[in-house]
């Protein structure tokens, strides 16, 4: 069974979803792919796992790095799971490029190269945003692209983490890399 909880964040309402194993979804209301993995039958009820996710978000939105991770249970292909595992290793307040993730994936798979676009697809379909920090992924040239919650939220999350934003920019429409 999937349980849900609506969390009020400084950036807007967030819908949390969890099963008995861990968090299965975290979406900003109105974002791209909002609740797309949420089954029709779910129960709006706070569980122990959702309470832990709430505590994590409380610490995070207070401007501090949470020193724990609530149990996670993302659903995706082996490739997506491997990309999300790399996302979980990005340090708080730091960024990484799609190309760097592609190089890490190539090493893991023992191949000469991996498509940054394929990595981008996996990053973009991360259903547990913020906790699995896809907002920390940027374009090779410092462009802030590809955040389902919206570029404004990506900027706010990076600012909250005191990330170095001196070289980052929002690309003009149609120029995303």
Q: Which phi and psi angles does 60 have, rounded to 5°?
A: -60, -50
Q: Which of 119, 122, 134, 157 is catalytic?
A: 134
- Residue 165's alpha-carbon distances to 38, 89, 123, 169, in angstroms, are 34, 20, 20, 8
Q: Could you give the CA distance from residue 134 to residue 12 in angstroms, rounded to a whole number?
A: 18
Is 32 marked active-site? no
Q: Could you give the CA distance from residue 91 to residue 145 in angstroms, rounded to a whole number?
A: 19
The three-state secondary structure class of 159 is helix
Residues with a catalytic annotation lie at 134
């Amino acid at each position: 069974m999937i349980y849900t909880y609506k969390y009020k964040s400084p950036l807007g309402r967030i819908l949390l979803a969890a099963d008995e194993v861990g968090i299965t979804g975290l979406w900003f209301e109105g974002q791209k792919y909002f609740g797309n993995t949420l089954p029709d039958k779910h129960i709006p009820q706070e569980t122990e796992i959702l309470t832990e996710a709430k505590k994590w978000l409380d610490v995070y939105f207070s401007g501090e790095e949470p020193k724990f991770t609530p149990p996670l249970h993302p659903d995706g292909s082996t490739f997506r799971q491997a990309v999300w595992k790399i996302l979980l290793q990005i340090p708080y307040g730091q960024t990484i490029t799609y190309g760097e993730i592609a190089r890490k994936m190539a090493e893991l798979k023992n191949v000469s190269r991996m498509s940054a676009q394929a990595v981008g697809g996996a990053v973009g379909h991360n259903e547990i945003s913020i906790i699995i920090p896809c907002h920390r992924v940027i374009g090779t040239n410092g462009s802030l692209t590809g955040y389902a919650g919206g570029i404004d939220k990506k900027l706010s999350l990076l600012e909250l983490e005191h990330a170095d934003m001196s070289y980052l920019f929002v690309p003009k429409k149609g120029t995303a890399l």
